[in-house]
Structure 1
Amino acid sequence: MKHYTLVIISLMLAACGGGGEGDSATESAGTNVTQAPTTDTTPPETTPPATGVDPETMNDLTIAPEFNLSSKLELDVDVDLNIGDTRAFLNICLKGDDDKADYNQCLLRAPLVQSKLSSSLMLANSGLELVAEVWFYDTQSEPLRYYWKNDSEQPMVFTIR
């Protein structure tokens, strides 16, 4: 029982901790640091004047029946270059500042088979501008570039011919 009492007293002393208010580095250097009194400079809260209009709620929201509240758009990709069995690779990426593809933001990377490809992409934003680059496996150094931007009047198809 004596041992338990000793352990409990030791724990209580250790839990209380020691130390003073200052930090030992500034006390040993002999410098005194004084703090300026802080003042609360936040302006007092004011309530807006009553206008007689109730705040809008979700119940007041009116949505057209054909709008599905989704920001995702499906884009069909249709590639047919009519160049036969020439090996090529397609990158579809967001348009960069230099009107070239931003390879850090590509949405589709795929080889062309018989210079054709049919695929679809899900886009998260309707305001995107895309660049498709067709790279040939031969010695051509510059790719063929095609551009697409969403136009609500056109079908959601990126056609590359």
Structure 2
Amino acid sequence: MNNQNEKSINNHLGLLFIMTALLSACGGGGDGESDTPAPIATPTETTTSTDTTTTEDPTPDPAADSTSLDDLVVDADNKLESAYLLTIDVDRVSTERGYFSLCDNYQAQGDGYSVNFDSCLFRGPLTDGQLNKEVKVANHESQLIAVIWFYEGQAPQFVEWQYSQDSDTQVLTMN
């Protein structure tokens, strides 16, 4: 190895060491307040002349914000998944050449749609008028637009699709 390569490697290693030291010195940080969690609202006690009873305060304390993952409550039927599978099923009787686009950024305009094709989640050609594909879609994407473009100059075909909470499987069909 020549001297110039050794200097370059040593410079890179030195820089890496300094960056590591700086990052570890930063620590968790914070705003100067205590790291102890905020107090959680507790039941209030009411004393009567003969006994002590405990009743719960029906209004939550707005100052008692959750401060850790231990405070997180997840519904039992939540699958904790960040995406779902969408099955695309295109089966056109016509064998005209076409191209399929699935996008999330669009607006209805009169009888048609204005689609931002930079927002497409999937694009692909139709083969003999057909396309069967599974696409992973982020959970926050609940409304999409499917567009089939034809090579022979025909007007594009649009289909709005919406996530169905009533079904375990999500399918977009275009015929």
Would you call these one fold, judging by a TM-score over 0.5?
yes
Structure 1 contact 101–133 (Cα < 8 Å) conserved: no
Q: Deviations over 1:32-83 (max 9, x none)?
A: xxxxxxxxxxxxxxxxxx9762754433434345423122111111110111
- Distance in 1 between residues matched to 2:102 and 2:71, nearest whole Å: 41
Moved over 6 A (4+): none
Higher gyration radius (CA): 1
* Alignment counterpart, residue 75 of structure 1, candidates 86, 102, 110: 86
- Which of 122, 130, 148 is residue 161 of structure 2 equivalent to? 148
User: Which structure 2 segments of 5+ residues have no match?
Assistant: 1-37, 43-63
Per the alignment, residue 8 of structure 1 pairs with: none
Matched, 1:118 2:132: yes
Aligned match of 1:88: 98
Residues 52 and 100 of structure 1, relative CA distance in 2, 3 Å threshold: closer
- How far apart in 2 are the matches of 1:130 and 1:52? 42
Equivalent-residue separation in structure 2 for 1:135 and 1:102 (angstroms): 14
- What is the deviation of 1:160? 1.0
C-alpha distance 62-105 of structure 1, shift in aligned 2 (>3 A): same
TM, length-normalised to structure 2: 0.54
Task: Please tell me the residue identity of whatever aligns with 2:128.
Answer: Q
The verdict on how the C-alpha distance between 1:93 and 1:53 changes in structure 2, with shifts beyond 3 A counting, is same
Moved more, 150-159 or 65-74: 65-74
Structure 1: gaps spanning 5 or more residues: 1-49
Q: Distance in 2 between matches of 1:105 and 1:61?
A: 33
For 1:52 and 1:134, the matched residues in 2 are separated by 55
Superposition TM-score, scaled by structure 1 size: 0.59
